[in-house]
Amino acid sequence: MKLRKYGRIPVELAASLSGASFRAPGVIVDISLTGCRVQSELSVQKNDAVGVLIDVPGHDHPLYISQAIIRWSNAPEFGLEFIQMELTDRQRLHEVVQRNAGER
């Protein structure tokens, strides 16, 4: 079993997932600097690529991960690895993780 580089922080953040032919809602239930666990009715397969918008309380714009890869799926949950995002979104992700880690 591969250990994660970063620990996951429990959260409850609304998200929107999208691909070439779909858009679906989801809830991020834990998050780290490199990935997250999502609850969604979306049917996904391992290695599928998705885009993710995460609503962050206190921010006007959602956090945008332009490319994430499904690493495991056990409906209605699946794990994402964040592959590509802008530097400003990566910095905001770091703030979200730090803030939620501090609340635990």
Residue 1 has a pLDDT of: 42
Backbone angles phi, psi at 100, to 5 degrees: -75, -30
Mean pLDDT score across all residues of the chain: 91
CATH number of 9-91: 2.40.10.220
| Between residues 81 and 43, the one the model is more confident about | 81
Sequence spans of domains, the chain:
9-91
* Amino acid letter, 32: S
Residue 63 has a pLDDT of: 97
Report pLDDT digits (tens) over 47-65: 999 999 999 998 899 999 9
Report pLDDT digits (tens) over 6-26: 578 999 999 999 988 889 999
60-78 core/surface letters (b: 16 or more CB in 10 A; e: else): eebbbbeebbbeebeeeeb
Residue 49 exposure: Cα atoms within 13 Å on the Cβ side: 6
